[in-house]
Amino acid sequence: MIKQESITAKLIRWSGWLFAAALLLLACNSLTPTPTATPEQGQSDAVPAVITVERIVEVEREVTRLVEVVITGIPPTSSNNDSGTGITSPPLISGTSTPGFNPTRPAFPEPTPGPTQIPLLPGQSNFTAAEMQLLVEVWRLVQENFDGQIPNNQELVDAIIAAALDTLGDQFTVYLNAATAQRSREAFEGSYEGIGAYVRQNDEGYFVITRPIAGQPAALAGLRPGDIVLAADGVSLIGLTIDQSISLVRGPNNTAVTLTILREGVAEPFEVTIVRQRIVIPIVEFSPQLLEGDIAYVRLTSFNAQAYTQLNNALETLLAQNPRGLILDLRDNPGGFLNQSIAVADLFLPQGVVLYERNIRGLQEVFESRSGDIAEQIPLVVLVNPGSASASEIVAGAIQDRGRGIIIGETSFGKGSVQSVYTLSDGSELRVTIARWYTPNNQTIDGAGITPDIEETPSPLEFGGPDDNQLQRAIQYLLTGE
C-alpha cells in the first residue's frame, strides 16, 4: 500500500481545493485491521484510526503551503519538507528564447486588481475543520459499508483530480496521468504510436475524426473526415476530454484497437478494428519546386520546439526561387508552444503587435514582432480550417488584423486561452489555463475562431493535391487578386 504521506503530497501539489481529496485518502489509509469487531455483529472488520482535528489542520496547512508553490511557481523560502511539486517551467507559456520574437511589456496603466481565484494564504482556508471532518467521515463509511470493490489509491487519485478540475468548467484545464502525458510528449516530438488521424472534440463533446493521414492505418481502414468515434475497445468516449479519448485510441505499435464509429448517412454505429503503428509527422511539408504560376507552398503541422527553425529553413529554400506569392497552410494544425507561434508570426510581420495576453490576476502583456525577417514582403495567403487551433489562430489572427495577408478556408477552432504545463513527480501532467490572448485588434477568438476573408469549403481529404479546392482558391487569389 502506498504510504499516506506520499498520496497526500501527490494530491495537494496540484490545486488548492484538492486538500479535501487528501483527507479522503488520509481516511482511506488510516483504516487498520482489528479483531474487536466482526461483520456478523453488523460492523466492519476494520475501524478507522483516530483522525484528530489537529491532524486535519496539519494536513490543511501543508496543502496551503504547496498551493502557493503551484500558483506562484516560487518554492517556499524555508521548509523542512520536500514539497514534491515536480513543477517544470511551463512550456506552453514560456520556454527558451527563440530568434525572431520580441515580447515586450508596454506602459499599461496600473491594472485594477481582479478577483483572486484561490484566496489561500498560510494559515487560512475556505474550508472549516468540520467540513474537512465530514469528508473523512464519508469515505470512512464507504470503506466500511460499500458492497463492491473499493478503487485502488491511484484510481481514487485520478478520479478525485478529474472531478475537482471538472468544477472549473474549462475543458483545457486537465490532468493527464503518466501514461497519457508520455504519449502527449511523444506527439509533440513529432511521432507517436496510434492510428494516424487528426481529431478534435466538437461542440457536443464528441470525438471526431478531422482527417485521416494518407497512407496511415486510419485511412487504410476506411475512416473518413466527420466520423464520430463513440468508443474504443468497448470503452465509451462520450463525456471524456479530448486527451482522455486520445489516450484510449493510441497504444503500442502493432496492437489492435476496435473503434465504434457513427457516420452520417449510416443508420447504425459500426465497428472498425485498426492495428496501431508508429506515426511520424513531419513538422514542415513543402515541395522545393514552385506550384503553377510560380507560387510557393509550405505546410506547418505543429508548433513544437522546432517549428520556427524548420519553417525558416523551408522559406529560405522557397524564396530563393523568387515566387510570385506564398501559401502558408495551417489546416489541422492544433497549436503548440506560445513562443513558437510568436516566432513564426514574426517571419511574416514587420514591427508591431502579434498578440495581447491578459488574466484576472492583473497580467497584461504584449508580444511583438520585429522587422527584418525573410517573408515580410511576399504576397501571402494563410489556409485554415476547423482543425486550426491555438497557436495557429495566433498566427492567422495577427496576419489578418495587421493586413499582412488573406485568410482562406473555414472558420478555425476557437481556442483563445493559454495553458501552463506542470510535469508532476510521477510523470503525470497538469495543464492549467492561466491567461487569455487577444489579436492585435484586441479581439478574442475564444469559442468563435478566426473567420476567413474568403470562405472555401469543405476541407479535402488530402492536402496539397490538384483536388485541394482550398489550395486552388489560394493560388487563384495570388494570381488574380480576386
- List active site positions: 390, 401, 415
Rounded CA separation 389/172 (Å): 12
3-state SS, one letter per residue, for 423-482: ECCCCCEEEEEEEEEECCCCCCCCCCCCCCCEECCCCCCCCCCCCCHHHHHHHHHHHHCC
Distance, CA of 228 to chain centre: 20
Q: What are phi and psi of 452, to 5 degrees?
A: -65, 150
Contact 422, 73 (CB under 8 A): no
Cα atoms in the 13 Å half-sphere on the side-chain side of 448: 10
Q: What is the residue type of 144?
A: E
3-state SS, one letter per residue, for 284-298: EEECCCCECCCEEEE
Rounded CA separation 309/334 (Å): 18
Q: What is the residue type of 195?
A: I
Distance, CA of 134 to chain centre: 34
Rounded CA separation 42/39 (Å): 5
Class of residue 288 by CB neighbours under 10 A (exposed 0-12, middle 13-18, buried 19+):
exposed
Contact 254, 275 (CB under 8 A): yes
Class of residue 78 by CB neighbours under 10 A (exposed 0-12, middle 13-18, buried 19+):
exposed
DSSP string, 244-270: HHHHHH--STT-EEEEEEE-TT-SS-E
Strands 429-438 and 174-176: antiparallel
Rounded CA separation 202/264 (Å): 15
- Residue for grid cell 524564396: 319
Cα atoms in the 13 Å half-sphere on the side-chain side of 114: 11
Contact 427, 385 (CB under 8 A): no
Strands 364-369 and 352-358: antiparallel
Rounded CA separation 480/482 (Å): 5
Class of residue 246 by CB neighbours under 10 A (exposed 0-12, middle 13-18, buried 19+):
buried
Contact 433, 172 (CB under 8 A): yes
